[in-house]
């Protein structure tokens, strides 16, 4: 989001992810959390799942032709008559609820006694402000997926650069442009270039001047993206070195401890999260909040929030 001009405090994002917000989440914070959840979902699925129509639709939250398979509704004089499958109707009460919902939807769509024509849904002024009704997301996604098939014979890194440039140019989704970086990362994983994780392209793009990222010449943009890919890999290696050094230093403090000590659990949590709170340490180590504070104090990690009540610690 830094590349898009938004700044989110890391501690706010971690606390929001742990459902421990200290204030109402902002719009930017909600978007940042969606990005985190999208990356987790892609990482849990098989490589290449995101670079498919079903994967993109699922990540974007778009129902894929759901209306075509909806149950048939007969618009009669007094409302729709819904045919319910006996296997789907768990009880008469649920059947009545389904019938009421179907009738309500029929009325909202423009159905009325004596009116057999379906009224076109109206578009509000507020909807026009945030959405373009002529923006065909399905067609643009199909065009991008077609390009993804064509670059199959191209080297993985160059193909990823072409796909990212095409996503930036086509803008398939009006409000979720950030999804392109996740899709390109999954494309690289599907090609076997990266096996253990999803490459964080934004970290590398942040190191590239905006003039190069948005150059008029396509070749210059592709070279800038390849440089961003190398920068992201370099930052990742530096993070691994810092984590390895921090792990060795923290493990030294467990040498003289008993086998039932909770320090190893606290160390594993610190190494797996950007920052942690006392509640997270208490839950992971199965100790009280007071005991969690004692563990953090014994490990000597850095306090990152500067707050008195809602405190968080990290090693990076």
Whether residues 19 and 51 fall in one domain: yes
Task: Answer left, alpha or beta for residue 79, where phi above 0 means left and psi between -120 and 50 means alpha.
Answer: left
* CA dist., res. 190 & res. 112, Å (int): 52
Mean pLDDT computed over every residue of the chain: 79
What local confidence, expressed as pLDDT, does residue 162 receive? 93
Q: Is residue 129 part of a domain?
A: no
Same domain, 34 and 140: yes
Instruction: Specify the pLDDT at position 64.
Output: 58
Q: How far apart are CA 300 and CA 285, in angstroms?
A: 17
Looking at the structure, tell me whether residues 141 and 228 fall in a common domain: yes
Contact 314, 276 (CB under 8 A): yes
Give 6's pLDDT tier (boundaries 50, 70, 90). confident
- pTM, entire model: 0.68
Residue 256 has pLDDT above 70, yes or no: yes
Q: Report yes or no on 306 lying in a domain.
A: yes
Residues 229 and 257 in one domain: no
Considering the domain architecture, whether residues 164 and 212 belong to the same structural domain is answered as: yes
In a domain, 102, yes or no: no
Domain match, 149 and 263 both: no
Least confident of 47-61, 193-207, 298-312: 298-312
Provide mean pLDDT across the span 5-17: 83
Report the pLDDT averaged over residues 285-308. Answer: 84
What's 266's domain CATH number? Answer: 1.10.10.10
pLDDT bracket for residue 100 (50, 70, 90) = low
Comparison of pLDDT for 74 and 186, the residue scoring more: 186
Same domain, 226 and 258: no
74-90 confidence digits (pLDDT tens): 434 444 444 444 444 45
Query: Which is nearest to 277 in space by CA: 62, 54, 19?
Result: 19
Lowest mean pLDDT among 58-67, 220-229, 241-250: 58-67
pLDDT exceeds 70 at position 236: yes
pLDDT at site 158: 92
Asked if the model's pLDDT at residue 163 lies above 90, the reply is yes
Q: Is 94 inside a domain boundary? A: no
Report the C-alpha gap between 312 and 302 in whole angstroms.
9
Q: Give the domain-ending residue among 234, 263, 293.
A: 234
**What is the count of structural domains for the chain?**
2
Mean pLDDT computed over 184-190: 92
Nearest one of 167, 187, 185, 186 to 177, comparing CA atoms: 167
More confident residue, 227 or 255: 227
pLDDT at residue 183, rounded to an integer: 92
203 part of a folded domain = yes
Same domain, 19 and 166: yes
**Residues 190-210, mean pLDDT to the nearest whole number:** 87
C-alpha dist (Å) from residue 185 to 25, 171, 217, 240:
28, 17, 24, 19
Q: Where are the beta strands (DSSP E) in 136-292?
A: 276-277
Element containing residue 80 per DSSP (H, E): strand 80-82
Residues 181 and 291 in one domain: no
Residue 266 has pLDDT above 70, yes or no: yes
Of the residues 180, 200, 234, the one at which a domain ends: 234
SS3 314: strand
Residues 162 and 220 in one domain: yes
Residue that terminates a domain, selected from 203, 234, 265: 234
Range of the domain at 140: 10-62+136-234
Q: Which residue from 222, 247, 114, 231 is spatially nearest to 169, judged by alpha carbons? A: 222
> 131 pLDDT exceeds 70?
no
With respect to residue 37, please indicate whether it lies within any of the assigned structural domains. yes
Mean local confidence (pLDDT), 201-208:
88
Burial of 232 from C-beta contacts in 10 A (0-12 / 13-18 / 19+): buried
Per the domain annotation, does 269 fall within a domain?
yes
Confidence check: pLDDT of 4 > 60: yes
Residues 32 and 173 in one domain: yes
Q: How confident is the model at residue 60 (pLDDT cuts 50, 70, 90)?
A: confident
Mean of pLDDT values over 125-129:
45
pLDDT tens track for 12-45? 888 888 787 878 888 899 999 999 999 999 999 9
In terms of domains, do 40 and 140 share one? yes
Q: Where residue 120 falls among pLDDT bands split at 50, 70, 90?
A: very low
Does 122 map to a domain?
Answer: no
**How high is the pLDDT of residue 75?**
38
């Amino acid at each position: 989001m830094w590349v898009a001009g938004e700044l989110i405090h890391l501690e706010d994002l971690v606390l929001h992810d742990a459902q421990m917000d200290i204030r109402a989440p902002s719009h930017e914070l909600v978007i940042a959390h969606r990005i985190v959840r999208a990356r987790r979902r892609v990482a849990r699925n098989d490589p290449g799942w995101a670079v498919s129509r079903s994967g993109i639709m699922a990540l974007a939250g778009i129902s894929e032709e759901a209306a075509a398979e909806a149950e048939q509704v007969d618009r009669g004089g007094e409302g729709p008559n819904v045919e319910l499958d006996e296997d789907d109707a768990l009880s008469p009460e649920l059947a009545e609820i389904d019938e009421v919902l179907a009738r309500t939807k029929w009325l909202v769509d423009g159905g009325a006694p004596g009116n057999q024509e379906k009224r076109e849904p109206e578009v509000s002024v507020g909807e026009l402000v945030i959405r373009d009704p002529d923006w065909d997301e399905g067609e643009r996604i199909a065009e991008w997926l077609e390009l993804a098939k064509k670059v199959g014979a191209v080297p993985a890194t160059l193909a990823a650069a072409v796909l990212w440039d095409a996503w930036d140019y086509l803008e398939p989704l009006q409000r979720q442009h950030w999804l392109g970086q996740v899709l390109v990362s999954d494309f690289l994983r599907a090609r076997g270039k990266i096996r253990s994780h999803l490459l964080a392209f934004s970290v590398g793009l942040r190191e590239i001047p905006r003039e190069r990222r948005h150059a008029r010449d396509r070749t210059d943009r592709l070279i800038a993206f390849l440089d961003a890919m190398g920068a992201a890999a370099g930052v990742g290696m530096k993070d691994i070195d810092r984590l390895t050094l921090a792990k060795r230093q923290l493990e030294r403090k467990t040498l003289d401890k008993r086998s039932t000590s909770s320090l190893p659990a606290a160390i594993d949590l610190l190494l797996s999260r950007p920052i942690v709170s006392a509640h997270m340490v208490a839950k992971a180590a199965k100790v009280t909040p007071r005991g969690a504070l004692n563990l953090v104090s014994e490990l000597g990690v850095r306090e990152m929030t500067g707050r008195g009540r809602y405190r968080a610690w990290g090693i990076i």
